[in-house]
Structure 1
Amino acid sequence: MSATPWSRRLFLSVTAAAAVAAVDSGCSLLGGGSTTQVKAAGDQTLEKSKINVSLIPCTDVGPLWLAKKNGYFAAEGLDVTLVNKPSGPDVISSVFGGDADFGFATYPVLVQAQLKTKGKQNLRVVADASAAKPDTTAVVVKKGSPLTRAEDLKGKRIAVTARGTMADLAVMAGLRAAKVDWNTVQWKQIGFADMLPKLESGEIDAAFFAEPYVTIAQAQAGVTTVFQPLTGALDGIPLSGYMATEQTTKERPKTVAAFQRAIRKAQTEAATQHGDTEVKQTMVDNANVQPDIAPVIHLPTYPISADPTRLQRVPDLMQQFGLISDKFDIKPMILPELG
């Protein structure tokens, strides 16, 4: 059997398998769910108990899977359905459209979505999800490629999941550090599932991978890392967060607070040695990562609070690279912890 078809099946399974989580709670993938008021921790009555959370399956959402698996949502009176989406913009659409109560996306996507609404619909960051750490992302080339340095990528075809996300922002920052004009790059928007086959076939020259795809591609095809974009000046930069519409946070503050508490507990646990092992197991359970690969996956940092000063690094970087034209103050987007 050739490597390429098998590669695509594995990558497709990693991307799609998280959708299995969407049937766990037994409620519809779309639609609003129950609005029956139930008792949560601390004897608080929730405005809505059955909620949908849209996400992109990756290591960033490990604590989210952990919160569901370990019953942290249930302890707060929440019946959570996790719905897999292919990209950040798709997550945003599901939240604005009402199909999801909460969503997960990278901060550049959140900032641009907020700007596009022009105040008609506001997004609020309800919890931080992840921050950059070495070895969690990589710009890779196929085995044996003559491209070995960032300087070699000038004018090349580089795959990212979507433009205007942390993916291409990180690559541009890495190229700038190597004094390479990122405007010469031929950007290719390709889902993670299709990147490795296209890399091996020569349709693209390089690809930006995030974990667990970095480790899978290394083990499966022997890809070579050209550079790690989220290191150096970008080490520790906030990557992604959980959001809801401002309307949701105002109309269902107790539900939002319950979600925040469950996420905070899971993020706190993920920072421990035992939690690290548990999060890696969620990759096996929810993202079809092979058991022998999971232990060597590199996880990001999981912050327990959304600090405005840290998060401001993202829109500042976006402005530097022309993703946004004016300075953007992210602090008003951040919802304080409600409980």
Structure 2
Amino acid sequence: MPHLVRSEMMVRHGGSAVSGRRLRRLFLAVTSTVTVLTLTSGCGLLGGSDSSNQGSADSKVEKSKIKIAIIPSTDVGPLWVAKKNGYFTAEGLDVEIVNKPSGPDVVSAVIGGDADFGFATYPVMVQAQLKGKGQTNLKIVADASAAKPDTTAVVVRKDSPLKSAADLQGKKIAVTARGTMADMGVMAGMRAAKADYSTIDWKQIGFADMLPKLQSGEIDAAFFAEPFVTIAQAQAGVSTVFQPMTGPLDGIALGGYMASEEKTTKVHPKTVAAFQRAIKKAQEEAATPAGENAVKQALVDNANVKPDIAPVLHLPSYPVTTDPTRLQRVPDLLLEFNVIPQRFDIKPMILTN
């Protein structure tokens, strides 16, 4: 769920004092490639490549050198799997992966032609499509990730009196950005608990700055996504109030890969099909135990996740098909919480593979 990123004090942990400045540096080390909005991009699995698509004139791509803009996150682990293991190369593609600080930056790169493909969370894509009003048309070419329990959490300080979703009414809650799966997840959890989420005092803060502000009391609670859930638990012993991606949001689509219809899908259909095949191969492998380990290693190699944190990370699921019914849950949720003004049918955006 794309897919989701962004005091001198003392924090007690394990009987020793750790400065807030040191803790923030630890968080920044994990996200040195991404500074705002959501979390926001692994490595190889089996080491081989399928050359079955090479050598045929019908399979030759129109554009071999492509750029893929991403927000580095657990959501795009299989993308690195495909690149490292040569799955793109086997399809005749020479891939350059470009990190962007936010979903809107990815969308801008795709629409402007600076990137051939891009990863972003579905709320960002839906809102960009609505904003374009038909002047720019984004196509979803592959699903990337779907929510699983333990991949996100609303956390508080270990000594906080806040214990339930109802306790969060009127409190200062940090999210990376409004109109995303972050604030919608918080609101959905509070609504399920029959709590008044309209009383929340939202604070838009980058993930790297959330834990120090939580420890200092500047905020009461924070929405974290992996790997920050695991890091916060390991470094500060935070308490989880509830997990947003459970119940009504369990399995909801998080993020996907998009391309411009005008600049890519219409003019380079074989290139798009090659991209889809490589991603699908990597997503299928990511569902295996060996593939999960490969994705975790990819986060170490590409997103500065520390090796001792990677083994205990909770990864999202990586779908191998782009199901319109499942994706439709996202714009329906956006409408429920008045993020978009009208019902949005996501099916026309999907370019099936």
Match of 2:4 in 1: none
Whichever residue aligns with residue 181 of structure 2, its letter is M
After superposition, give the CA deviation of every residue in 1:296-329 in whole Å (9 maximum; x if it has no partner).
1111111001011111111111111111121111
Secondary structure in 2 matching 1:255: helix
Matches of 2:123 and 2:223, distance apart in 1: 16
Whichever residue aligns with residue 149 of structure 2, its letter is P
Whichever residue aligns with residue 251 of structure 2, its letter is G
Matches of 1:101 and 1:130, distance apart in 2: 20
Change in Cα spacing, 1:312 to 1:42, as seen in structure 2 (3 Å) is farther
Matches of 1:138 and 1:104, distance apart in 2: 23
> TM-score scaled by structure 1?
0.90
Give 1:42 deviation, angstroms: 5.4
Matches of 1:213 and 1:287, distance apart in 2: 12
Structure 1, 39-48 or 172-181: larger mean CA deviation: 39-48
Match of 1:74 in 2: 89
Give 1:150 deviation, angstroms: 0.9
Match of 2:65 in 1: 50
> TM-score scaled by structure 2?
0.87
Contact 1:40 1:46 in 2 (8 A): no
1:139 to 154, 175, 186: 154
Structure 1, 78-87 or 216-225: larger mean CA deviation: 78-87
Match of 2:103 in 1: 88
2:107 maps to 1:102: no
Whichever residue aligns with residue 76 of structure 1, its letter is E
Matches of 1:86 and 1:225, distance apart in 2: 27
1:155 to 145, 167, 170: 170
Secondary structure in 1 matching 2:213: helix
Over 3 Å off, 4+ runs: 39-42
Whichever residue aligns with residue 171 of structure 1, its letter is V
Match of 2:46 in 1: none
Give 1:186 deviation, angstroms: 1.3
Match of 1:28 in 2: none
Unmatched segments (≥5 aa) in structure 1: 23-38
Match of 1:165 in 2: 180
Question: Between the two proteins, what is the percent identity of the paired residues?
Answer: 72
2:78 to 53, 59, 63: 63
After superposition, give the CA deviation of every residue in 1:209-249 in whole Å (9 maximum; x if it has no partner).
11111111111111111100010111111111111111111
Contact 2:34 2:100 in 1 (8 A): no
After superposition, give the CA deviation of every residue in 1:81-126 in whole Å (9 maximum; x if it has no partner).
2222222112112212222111111111111110000000011100
Considering only aligned residues, what root-mean-square deviation do their CA atoms show, in Å? 1.8
Matches of 2:268 and 2:260, distance apart in 1: 11
Secondary structure in 1 matching 2:266: helix
Matches of 1:281 and 1:16, distance apart in 2: 17
Unmatched segments (≥5 aa) in structure 2: 1-16, 36-40, 42-51
Aligned residues: 319
Change in Cα spacing, 1:106 to 1:66, as seen in structure 2 (3 Å) is same
Match of 2:54 in 1: 41
Whichever residue aligns with residue 268 of structure 2, its letter is R
Matches of 1:259 and 1:320, distance apart in 2: 34
